[in-house]
Amino acid sequence: MGKLSRFLVDRRRTVFIVMMLLSAVSLFLIPRVNVNTDMTKYLPASSPMKQGIDILSFPESWQRWTGSSHPNQTTGQPADKTQASRQINLPAGL
């Protein structure tokens, strides 16, 4: 620890310049950083969570699934028997 502190004190200008250069490079590269706010992109398409989110995310798929144009006007059942096979099997307790 003593060697490190002695190096930092003796070469403080060099350390300062190196840190300023690294900071400048970091500031220059900020626009190239991409942030993914959609966590569902990390889920596989076969995931029940992904399938459920896809159904609830798009009004047309909600209407196709339930036969209603608005989520508050549904009975929670598929619109017809052919869509009953599209139901997602979730683990018990969910």
**Model pLDDT for residues 1-40, shown as the tens digit of each residue:** 889 999 999 999 999 999 999 999 999 999 999 888 877 7
The predicted pLDDT at position 53 comes to: 77
CA distance readout (Å), 58 to 26, 42, 69, 89? 39, 19, 11, 20
Beta-carbon count within 10 A of 51 CB: 16
Residue owning tokens 């200008």: 13
In a domain, 85, yes or no: no
44 & 68 share domain: yes
What pLDDT digit, counting tens, does each position of 38-71 carry?
777 888 878 888 877 777 766 665 566 666 665 5
Structural domain boundaries, residue 19:
2-31
43 & 70 share domain: yes
Burial class (CB in 10 A: 0-12, 13-18, 19+), 13: exposed
Q: Is a pLDDT exceeding 60 seen at residue 76?
A: no
